[in-house]
């Protein structure tokens, strides 16, 4: 992707003009590879990131990024990568438990962003969510709590001049009953990146396309 026209897209996605970036994918064309590239770019130079992982554990991302020349374990030790493993999100059935968990999660993200930005030679900070649909599942289907959490994260991007990158599965929210979250993300996004299969039909051939400008990459 970086070699074949994706460099400009990555620069735009990580630039100050695109504070909220939404990556849409589908079953035929998973968009995780876009997150891998954006995470690598986010950690370049003096950059830092908070990664909210619901789809895969740290070892998965560490293995993939090592092949791309990026050592996540080293960045984690140097506190430039703050990795939140949320496969077991601490929500609950009692009233307010899920909302309380989101408040606690946001407070921790806010703390690391403020600490990083206050450091010497601080670079750009990026918050990444590897699967917003799984965050909704972890919240027991509470879309309102997820939207409230996203609202606070978006506010943080303005207050602390950082970026927010979110992956969402478009096909899950294609129905009229579930489209609310997808439409909301498109509304708040400065840039939408869509992963889709090429016309060849080969599963290995995947391209991304910016929805807001006529450009594609392979």
What is the per-residue pLDDT across 192-218, written as a single tens digit (0 to 9) for each?
998 877 665 554 544 444 444 333 333
Query: What letters, b where the CB count within 10 A reaches 16 and e where it falls short, cover 154-171?
Result: bebbeeeebbbbbbbbbe
Q: With the CA atoms of 93, 96, 100 and 101 taken in that order, what torsion angle do they form, in degrees rounded to the nearest 10?
A: 20
Written as six digits, the tokens of 193 are 């990146």
Residue 152: helix, strand or coil by DSSP? helix
CA distance 59 to 22: 24
Q: Is the pLDDT of residue 108 over 60?
A: yes
**Widest Cα–Cα separation across the chain:** 50
The pairing of beta strand 125-129 with beta strand 206-210: unpaired
Q: Is residue 150 within 8 Å of 112, Cβ to Cβ?
A: no
Cβ neighbours of residue 75 under 8 Å, at least 6 residues apart? 43, 81
The CB density around residue 199, as the number of other CB atoms within 10 Å, is: 8
CA distance 9 to 215: 9
Q: What is the pTM of this model?
A: 0.83
pLDDT, greater one: 89 or 74: 74
pLDDT, greater one: 154 or 17: 154
- Beta-bridge mates of residue 85: 53
E strand segments, 88-130: 125-129
CA distance 196 to 209: 8
pLDDT at 78: 92
pLDDT in tens, 24-61: 998 888 889 999 999 999 999 889 999 999 999 999 99
pLDDT, greater one: 100 or 76: 76
Among 9-13, 34-38, 49-53, 106-110, the minimum mean pLDDT is found in 9-13
């Amino acid at each position: 992707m970086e070699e074949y026209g994706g460099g400009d897209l990555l620069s735009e996605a990580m630039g100050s003009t695109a504070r909220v970036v939404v990556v849409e994918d589908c079953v035929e064309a998973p968009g995780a590879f876009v997150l891998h590239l954006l995470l690598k770019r986010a950690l370049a130079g003096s950059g830092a990131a908070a990664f909210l992982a619901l789809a895969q554990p740290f070892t998965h991302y560490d293995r993939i990024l090592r092949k791309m020349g990026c050592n996540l374990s080293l960045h984690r030790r140097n506190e430039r990568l703050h990795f939140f493993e949320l496969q077991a999100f601490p929500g609950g059935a009692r009233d307010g438990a899920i909302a309380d968990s989101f408040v606690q999660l946001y407070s921790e993200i806010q703390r690391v962003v403020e600490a990083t930005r206050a450091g010497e030679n601080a670079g750009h900070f990026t918050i990444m969510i590897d699967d917003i649909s799984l965050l909704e599942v972890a919240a027991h289907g509470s879309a309102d709590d997820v939207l409230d959490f996203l609202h606070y994260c978006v506010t943080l991007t303005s207050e602390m001049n950082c970026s927010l990158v979110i992956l969402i599965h478009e096909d899950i929210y294609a129905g009229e009953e579930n489209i609310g979250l997808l439409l909301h993300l498109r509304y708040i996004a400065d840039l939408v990146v869509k992963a889709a299969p090429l016309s060849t039909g080969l599963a290995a051939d995947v391209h991304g396309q910016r929805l807001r400008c006529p450009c594609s990459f392979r």
